Amino acid sequence: MDVFPWLRGIAAALLTCTMLTACGNNYDLADERGRRSRIDDANLHLSAGRCQSALASIWPLYNSTYVDDEVRLITASAYACEGSFNLLTLAGNLSNVSNPFQALAKSLSNRPNDGARQAMYRASDVLTRGSAAIGAAQRGASVNSYMVFVQLGIIGTIIRNYGSPAIDGSRGAALTYNPTTAPNNPAGEMTDEDACALAASVGNILDSFLYSGLTDPSTRAVTNQLQALCATIPGGYSCSDISQARTACSSNPANTAATVAAFVMSGVNSAW
């Protein structure tokens, strides 16, 4: 597969330190070389799949006044790593599998209730700057590009958790969510948070793509399919009605976010 330019660029950035015999050990955050040492060490750990070590390396810098988009991308990558997310695997499957939801389910390896969804949620929070909820128009192109893939990863972890996919990624069980019964859900039904996260990911992907540097046919095809899914939402709702906050759903029939999330989930069932 010819990986598109942006993906080659971020992969190269995450592999920077593997070309060095040793990364610097000066961790003084007030010194540029010290900050670079943190970044290089985190990249080295990521390239070897050492998710927690990468997070430990970058965390002091992420929590400092020196945090920038590069640091956010590395921190989000460390959390995504904990969520069994592999960007190259996902990109490859998206280009080779016509059904995007099958590709997403096939690309992740999480199991029900193994913590992968929570790790992916934390990755998303890093990119949106947590409670500040920075919108796509306020984020840089590189952050929005990675945001698209993190949100695709979130969808993958959710549908794997609730949809019992086969090896080829095809759906094994229907996704179910009823806002009137959550949070006291019957076994196998989505929680409020996961239902809203699934819908939020669709909205976040569509917004982030507009401000990203992604131009490859595979990612564009996925966003077009998600846009088409939005167009099927009944009740006069549209993509713009999707809440991009996964905490917006509540067990209340009058909760618009939960109502729209249930419609989005129904659309995923039909498209998957």
Residues 26, 60: contact at Cβ < 8 Å? Answer: no
Task: Look up residue 206 and give its two tokens.
Answer: 């569509």
| Size of the chain in residues | 272
- Tokens 């984020």 locate to 139
Task: Verify that 160 and 136 share a domain, yes or no.
Answer: yes
Task: Verify that 17 and 148 share a domain, yes or no.
Answer: no
If you average pLDDT over residues 145-158, what whole number do you get?
Answer: 98
End-to-end CA distance of the chain: 24
Residue type, 248: A
Last residue within a domain, chosen from 14, 47, 82: 82
Q: Going by C-beta distance under 8 Å and a sequence separation of 6 or more, which residues neighbour residue 57?
A: 38, 41, 42, 45
Under DSSP, the state recorded for 185 is P
Task: Verify that 75 and 144 share a domain, yes or no.
Answer: no
Task: Verify that 178 and 236 share a domain, yes or no.
Answer: yes
Tally of CB atoms within 10 A around 19: 9
Task: Verify that 96 and 64 share a domain, yes or no.
Answer: no
Closest by CA to 136, choosing from 211, 235, 248, 221, is: 211
Residue 210: is its pLDDT beyond 80? yes
Task: Give 221: exposed, middle or buried? Use CB within 10 Å, 0-12, 13-18, 19+.
Answer: middle
| DSSP-based three-state secondary structure for 144 | helix
Last residue within a domain, chosen from 33, 62, 82: 82
The rounded Cα 105 to chain-centroid distance in angstroms is 13
Tally of CB atoms within 10 A around 240: 9
Last residue within a domain, chosen from 51, 82, 113: 82
pLDDT band with cut points at 50, 70 and 90 for residue 188: confident
Q: Which domain does 92 fall in, by range? A: 86-271
Task: Verify that 194 and 164 share a domain, yes or no.
Answer: yes
Residues 96-132: tens digit of each pLDDT: 888 999 999 999 998 877 889 999 999 999 999 875 5
Task: Verify that 201 and 100 share a domain, yes or no.
Answer: yes
Task: Verify that 74 and 116 share a domain, yes or no.
Answer: no
Task: Verify that 52 and 95 share a domain, yes or no.
Answer: no
Under DSSP, the state recorded for 239 is G
Task: Verify that 109 and 221 share a domain, yes or no.
Answer: yes
Q: How many domains are there within the chain? A: 2
Residues 44-81: tens digit of each pLDDT: 999 999 999 999 999 999 999 999 999 999 999 999 99
Task: Verify that 14 and 119 share a domain, yes or no.
Answer: no
Task: Verify that 137 and 153 share a domain, yes or no.
Answer: yes
Q: What is the chain's percent helix, strand, coil content, to nearest 5?
A: 60, 0, 40
Q: What is the mean pLDDT of the chain?
A: 89
pLDDT band with cut points at 50, 70 and 90 for residue 254: confident
